[in-house]
Amino acid sequence: MLAWCRVQEGTLETPAGSNLVPYWGLWHLATGRPIPGGTDPTQGRLRPWCGTFAWAALHAGGWTAPADFVSVWAIEEWARAHGRYREGAGDIIPGDVLILLGHGQHCGIARGGAEYGQVATVEGNTSAGSAGSQDNGGGVFARLRPAPLVVGRVRVADLLGDAGPITLTPPAPAAPTTSPGGFDVSTLPTLSQGATGNTVRACQRLVGVTCDGQYGPITAAAVRAFQQSARITVDGVVGPVTWSRLLGV
């Protein structure tokens, strides 16, 4: 799970202020629930996404959390109901879901325990540093938080299925372009050499190359290697089938 989180660092909501991030699509595909506000960029208030990032991280780690896990309040409520909630920083271990800044306000994933009064985290919908919004910053960033800002912690390590780094190698059977929940991956742009932008960066994170937003020979080679491992057409072009494999849907 933490390996997956590292790949996500630097992901930004697009457009800014919309709270639209790839994790909503993954959540929709897994739960069948509609994305709050759809893809309307003006409805960002309906989809705060720090919890959605935590949900996606746990999903990458092998555990599909309840659909309501995207709300910080719901995360706390679920944890209390299942005996998994503890107040304060305490005995944090990597992979704990941390309740930050205040109850129901913000959350992140612990990258390590509390040391020298600080906790290493990776968080969705925060800023890269202390200058920006701490709970509506629009990006995924690794942070060092003062331990007193951790108001609670949720232990989920025993629910996860990943004993090591997340593999991007999917199963062999061809995936449909439309999930039972109705999310059509064919609506994602087809990427090939010469493409640029945030969608290219998202693809680059998934195939493990430098995220510069430029689809050049290195990215194409990584895509071809992924396609070969996935036993799908090897052409270096990211179309619906390759997107399905990359996103694990």
Please state the pTM of the whole predicted model.
0.66
Residue 249: its pLDDT value, please? 55
Residue 140 and residue 127: Cα distance in Å, rounded?
Answer: 8
pLDDT tens digit string along 42-100? 999 999 999 999 999 999 988 989 999 999 999 999 999 999 999 999 899 999 999 99
* Residue 243 pLDDT grade (very low, low, confident, very high; cuts 50, 70, 90): confident
- Mean pLDDT across 175-187: 45
Q: Is residue 30 over pLDDT 60?
A: yes
Q: With 60 as the cut, is the pLDDT of residue 196 above it?
A: yes
Query: What is the per-residue pLDDT across 103-121, written as a single tens digit (0 to 9) for each?
Result: 999 999 999 888 878 899 9
Q: What is the pLDDT of residue 171?
A: 32
Give the range with max mean pLDDT: 124-138, 153-167, 175-189: 124-138
Pair of tokens at residue 51:
């919890």
Q: Say how far apart CA 244 and CA 249 lie, in whole Å.
A: 5
Residue 130 pLDDT > 50: yes
Residues 108 and 51: beta-carbon distance below 8 Å: no
Residue 170 has pLDDT above 90, yes or no: no
One-character DSSP codes across the chain: -HHHHHHHTT-B-SSTTS---HHHHHHHHHH-PPPTTTT-GGGGGG---HHHHHHHHHHHTT----GGGGSHHHHHHHHHHTT-EEESSTT--TT-EEEESSTTTEEEEEEEEEETTEEEEEEEEE-SSTTS-SSS-SEEEEEEEEGGGEEEEE--GGG---SSSPP----SSPPPSB-TT--BGGGSPPB-TT-BSHHHHHHHHHHTS---SB--HHHHHHHHHHHHHHTS--SS-B-HHHHHHHHT-
Hey, what CATH topology would domain 185-247 get? Muramoyl-pentapeptide Carboxypeptidase; domain 1 (1.10.101)
Confidence of residue 211 (pLDDT cuts 50, 70, 90): confident
Average pLDDT, the chain: 85
Return the pLDDT at 197. Answer: 74
Give the pair of three-digit tokens for residue 244. 């399905």
Q: How far apart are CA 144 and CA 156, in angstroms?
A: 21
